[in-house]
Chains A and B, each alone.
Chain A
Amino acid sequence: MEHSYLELRAKIAKKDKGLKEKVMSLTEAVTLIPDNVHVAIGGCHYSRTPIALIWEIIRQKKSGLVFSKSITATEGDLLLVAGTTRHIITSWFSPGVTWGVSRIMRHFVQSGEATYEEWSHMSLGLRYRAAAMGVPFLPTRSMLGSDVYKQLANIKEMQCPFTGDKLALVPALHPDVAIIHVQKADSYGNAQITGFPFMDKDIALAANRVILTTEQIIDNDEIRRTPDRTDIPFFCVDAVVEAPYGCVPHECYAAYEPDFNHMDMYVKLMMERSTEGVQEYLDKYVYAPQTFDDYLSLFNLKDIVRATLNARKGYGS
């Protein structure tokens, strides 16, 4: 998955960078993702996960995809069990400390069926940033001497030509496609993220193609009134999909908290019955509903309302 600099630039050069409408359906947007490419997932852990896009990726039976994500939660289980991927590049993989270690991750990795390529959280971030900057690598003082470093094939060490300090060099990570969920975007793809930015600005610039889902499509006039709040510029973006509650059961900052009852239910099913339990979950929540709205209607409205009210209260008081 290494690309030459000029190849990468050629991809950007070919892009239509005009200020044009890019709104499309979830189905149309996901058809922009071919099989066997590298897809970077925005958000982190169970926060601002582009669940709607992942849901549709699984339904379209994509295969051979390599995923990268800063920290992987339950969506990683679903992608493994559905057969969408056998290679995940991430820094941590499980639902959360109080829920224990993912049995699905363990099953696939321990059996050798799938690869969990482990990078430290910061070094993964630096890999996206190097790509976003258009440089082939970035130096860091992290990871030196550890076994995380030793088990990685594409990392190098150098002595700083100025100071003589030892440095680890982490290579740029250029996803073929980035899938990112935001709170607000206009129809051209100008995206405004509320709360934690995670690595998403870097991911959007690092990728050759960007698909956005947004809680809400706003008017370009609103963007122009608040350009200082725009995190992803329109010319990076290839598709905009309006997907309210597009992270459920995960959270979306200031919009809704996680649906903890649903997460508890999922984790219990996954921990008790492993792949069989997750297969049952996929049948019920991914394959059976015909639209993402149908998927959402399977959730308990009371829980969703409570998650929404809790998040709307904000975090300032």
Chain B
Amino acid sequence: MAAELAYNTAELVCISSGRLLEDGKVVFAGAGLPLLAAILAQRTHAKTLTILFEGGVIGPFVEPGKLPPSTNEQRCATRANMVLPTTDVLLLQQRGYVDFGFLGGAQVDQYGNINSSFIGDWKKPLVRLPGTGGGNDIASLSKVIVAMHHEKRRLVKKVDFVTSPGYLSGGNSRKAAGLIAGGTLKVVTHLGILGFDEEQKVMCLEALQPGATVEEVKKNTGFDLMIKKDLGESTPPTEEELRILHILDPEKRYTTPRGE
């Protein structure tokens, strides 16, 4: 039983979200854990996965142990195929060249909307967060994977502010707003893999992470979560995945669990 392997919750999220990236596809990765997970995927099952970074990079191969704290700095260009203006790399999504957007989530709601701008009312915020960056563009234009820690205050019924649009208020509302492509594909947490119901576009638990229970997921979710009938179980991280992850992030700068 692989549960004997030691890994923390951030490593689990990183590995299981990275597995969703397919070989031969193009991923637009945000800073932090998404960047790490995309590189991990490239070095495990998705050898010809192409990574794009917001700073203006196509197809880099970032050096182990040198993961930069920003997707706009020169180490993101290591062994890249092309560097280009920021506006143009983001526009590749509008053209349709990006298969997956990959984001972290400070606060995500039942429709997959992400908030990284304000806690409280935006006109008089309790907390001003850093903002969208390219997050809104990624979520507006691409299919998005969100990697995050599973907590009641992070998975909420309604986000305080829709920075990066998921399915807005569910149903057809995303398309009606003019966002005819993209949408939140999966939310990967340390407790489960969550997808979205076809019609209502509301979040739905599709698989449990190793050792997690439905009760635990429900307890840590801020809304009444739909549970898929044939609930799956996610495969635990393998020794190989963990070995590579530790080479990529030896100081655990990106894989130190937050929020507990």
Contact = CB atoms under 8 A, between A and B. Distances in A.
A96 B79 contact: no
Contacts of A137: none
B133 A143 contact: no
Given A118-B117, A145-B174, A315-B78, A70 B86 contact: yes
A165 B180 contact: yes
B22 interface: no
Given A148-B117, A167-B178, A142 B73 contact: no
Given A46-B70, A118-B117, A165-B178, A144 B56 contact: no
A134 interface: no
Interface in A90-109: 90-94, 96-99, 101-102, 105-106, 109
A45 interface: yes
A219 B148 CA distance: 52
B136 A45 contact: no
Interface in B49-97: 54-57, 69-70, 72-75, 77-80, 83-87, 90-91, 94
Contacts of A315: 74-75, 77-80
Which among A47, A126, A165, A315 has the highest number of chain B CB atoms within 10 Å? A315
A216 to B, nearest CB: 18
Nearest to A45: B72
A78 B165 CA distance: 32
A110 B72 contact: no
Given A118-B131, A146-B164, A148-B136, A195 B177 contact: no
Contacts of B210: none
Interface string A198-229: 11011000000000000000000000000000
Contacts of B128: 101, 105-106, 109-110, 116
A46 B70 CA distance: 8
B235 interface: no
B133 A258 contact: no
Contacts of A316: 79
Contacts of B164: 146
Given A44-B72, A121-B137, A142-B136, A101 B87 contact: no
Contacts of B139: 146
A94 B125 CA distance: 17
A10 interface: no
B179 to A, nearest CB: 5
Contacts of B185: none
Interface stretch (A26-34, A172-180, A249-257): A249-257
B130 A92 contact: yes
A147 B161 contact: yes
Interface string A138-162: 0011111111100100000100000
Nearest to B168: A145
A199 B254 CA distance: 28
B231 interface: no
Contacts of B107: none
A228 to B, nearest CB: 15
A122 interface: yes
Nearest to A258: B73
B55 A143 contact: no
A141 B141 contact: yes
Contacts of B83: 195-197
Which among A71, A166, A202 has the highest number of chain B CB atoms within 10 Å? A71
B87 A45 contact: no
Contacts of A317: 79
Interface in B170-216: 173-174, 177-181
A202 B140 contact: no
B162 interface: yes
B140 A254 contact: no
A142 B140 contact: yes
Given A71-B133, A121-B133, A122-B87, A147 B77 contact: no
Contacts of A258: 73
Contact of B136 (A109, A143, A254): A143
A120 B132 contact: yes
Contacts of A157: 178
B173 A91 contact: no
A125 interface: yes
A120 B136 contact: yes
B3 interface: no
Given A142-B136, A142-B140, A145-B174, A126 B87 contact: yes
Interface of B: 31-32, 54-57, 69-70, 72-75, 77-80, 83-87, 90-91, 94, 117, 122, 124-137, 139-141, 161-165, 168, 173-174, 177-181, 253-254
Given A92-B130, A196-B55, 16 more contacts: A90-B131, A91-B131, A91-B133, A96-B70, A98-B253, A110-B128, A118-B117, A120-B135, A123-B136, A145-B174, A145-B178, A147-B122, A197-B85, A198-B56, A199-B85, A315-B77
25 contacts: A47-B74, A70-B86, A94-B130, A96-B69, A96-B70, A102-B130, A110-B125, A110-B128, A121-B134, A122-B86, A144-B140, A144-B177, A144-B178, A146-B136, A147-B163, A148-B136, A148-B163, A166-B178, A167-B178, A195-B74, A195-B77, A197-B56, A197-B85, A198-B72, A315-B75
